[in-house]
Amino acid sequence: MIRFVLNTDDVETYVSRKSGRLDATGRAWALRHIPRFLIRDPRCLTTTRGADVAGFRPDVARNLSAARRLRIEPAWFMVVPEADDEVEAVLDWVAALPSVDPLLANKLGRISFDQARIHSARWHRRLAARRAHLPDDDPNGIEPVLAADGGRRWVRLISRAALDYEGARMGHCVGEGGYDSFRNRIYSLRDSRNRPHCTVEFDPSRRRVQQAKGRANDDVPAKYRGDVERLLRHLAPRRINSRLTEFVLSEEGEILRLSQAADWAPGVRIRNNLVLTNRTDVAALPERLTIRHSLVVANSTLKSLPRHLTIGQSLVGLALSPIERLPEGLSVRTLNLEDSLVTRLAPGTRILKELTVMHSALRDLPPGLTVGQLLILDGAALNRLPGDLEVAGRRVADLTGRRLPPCVVACGELAYTDMVFEDAGDIAVFGRLSFAGWENPAFPANLTVVGTLDLKHAVLDPTRVNGRVTVHGDLDLRGTEIGHLPETWTVHGRVLRD
């Protein structure tokens, strides 16, 4: 299925960050080929409404308009660990290519990403095989850093010969030229016989731990995770790559282990994302947990969330989670219950921006629920609302009454980018709907707005408007050249013009 990626700027940002260690030729290749791979990878694309879009952004608005014009289903890009590993492996090969195969490096521009994956896989297999023919270590190329458990120690690799030995012994790419600039620091866990068991990459300019690997690019074995934790405490990073899912940072800079999450202190605050994807060893999280960015629960066995949980951005992956009830005291910026098993929201739940309850198992909204900007729901499945429900600071019952029409319903402050209107059936909006500044926006077959329809500075060709529009409020046409309204439009309030 062809999909139109909305957040293309995020794709470019991701590739630019990942390819920063390459030379100019390698970066140009990465920026040309990797986005094409990512936007075609179904693992990295999720079907989205505007409720999943974190705020209005020019790239999102531009791409959503194009998707509607071309009638292509929109999608949201979010890299998954499996795709991230594939990209990392290919970039390791690209980084090493000038030193391992200069002739092929000169032809890099003619190599597709699929061809690069084949070359990369062969190269990584050769690296693993090289462990039987080790180069000599460079005793002057290591700098002692920190004592570890069991007679082991952490050292920093400061010569190319030391990188070569590390890469050959560990069966990964650190010795193939891609790290010879020493822009990032490479640390090795050595035993009493100087044999490496784990390699860590650290970006000192951003104080970010990029990766930690065992042999052949496998995850760090469990018996060495305590040693990795000791190094992380020594480095005091500001950020840890989410691929190191065993470790997270608290707001105070404390290193926390996910496998010990049930023992974290109540009220702990997580600095960035908390990623539980594919985790089977996290049975509980502490009460009063605060997460600055997002909580990802996709394919996790976690069955319940803690009371008084605060999430700064989104609760992601509920459609792939066994969670059926959301906890008391939940506060989250955006929440999408589409295709999830959630049957209950607790009274007093706070959604700071957007709540989507389409194609959901939820049949009732709780008393005391507040939604900061926008609520989207299926009026046929959820036809009654609590009398005290507030959206965008206003009691919804004052607009809707207690019973909703049996169609898609949006309450609050709605922009054109927040929903798919084209080819939709009936949509009822209770609040404010803004198409301001858009050129020939698409309308559903039957649109009812109980509030204001804002078309300021929009371009609208009445001959291209096929649907029926009923406005129980004001129609704002200021800054437009719209003269006569289409015959299928009815306005019960004022028509505002310049």
Which pLDDT band holds residue 287 (cuts at 50, 70, 90)?
A: very high
Residues 82 and 116 in one domain: yes
Residues 144 and 170 in one domain: yes
Where a domain ends, among 95, 113, 132? 132
What is the per-residue pLDDT for 51?
37
Show the domain range for 171.
134-242
**In Å, how far are 81, 290, 494 from 467, measured between CA atoms?**
43, 45, 21
Say yes or no to pLDDT of 273 above 80. Answer: yes
Instruction: Give the other-Cβ count within 10 Å of 316's Cβ.
Output: 25
What is the per-residue pLDDT for 87?
93
Residue where the block lists tokens 């979010």? 78
Query: DSSP string of 234-274?
Result: HH--SEE-TT-TTEEEBTT--EEEGGGGGGSPTT-EESS-E
What is the per-residue pLDDT for 69?
76
Which pLDDT band holds residue 342 (cuts at 50, 70, 90)?
A: very high
Residues 159 and 96 in one domain: no
What is the per-residue pLDDT for 422?
62
Two structure tokens written together for 439:
């050129």
Residues 163 and 227 in one domain: yes
Within 8 A by CB and 6+ apart from 52, the residues are 46, 76, 314, 334, 336, 356
Q: Is residue 442 part of a domain?
A: no
Q: Whole-number mean pLDDT of the chain? A: 86
Residues 178 and 210 in one domain: yes
Q: Where residue 238 sits, what CATH number does that domain have?
A: 3.40.630
Nearest to 74 by CA among 97, 101, 46: 46
What is the per-residue pLDDT for 54?
42
Where a domain ends, among 217, 242, 267? 242
Residues 48 and 138 in one domain: no
CA distance 463 to 478: 20
Q: Is residue 150 part of a domain?
A: yes
Residues 143 and 122 in one domain: no
Which pLDDT band holds residue 118 (cuts at 50, 70, 90)?
A: very high
The answer to whether 294 and 313 are in contact (CB under 8 A) is yes
Structural domain count, the chain: 2
Within 8 A by CB and 6+ apart from 386, the residues are 365, 366, 367, 368, 369
Q: Is residue 195 part of a domain?
A: yes
Residues 116 and 221 in one domain: no
Say yes or no to pLDDT of 50 above 50. Answer: no
- Could you report the per-residue pLDDT of 209-254, keeping only the tens digit for each? 988 888 777 778 888 989 999 999 999 998 887 666 688 999 998 9
Half-sphere exposure of 176 toward its Cβ, with a 13 Å CA cutoff?
Answer: 27
What is the per-residue pLDDT for 134?
61
What is the average per-residue pLDDT within 309-322?
A: 92
- Could you report the per-residue pLDDT of 444-469, keeping only the tens digit for each? 889 999 999 999 988 887 777 778 99
Say yes or no to pLDDT of 421 above 70. Answer: no
Q: Is residue 84 part of a domain?
A: yes
SS3 (DSSP) at 419 = coil
What is the per-residue pLDDT for 52?
45
The answer to whether 39 and 20 are in contact (CB under 8 A) is no
pTM of the model: 0.70
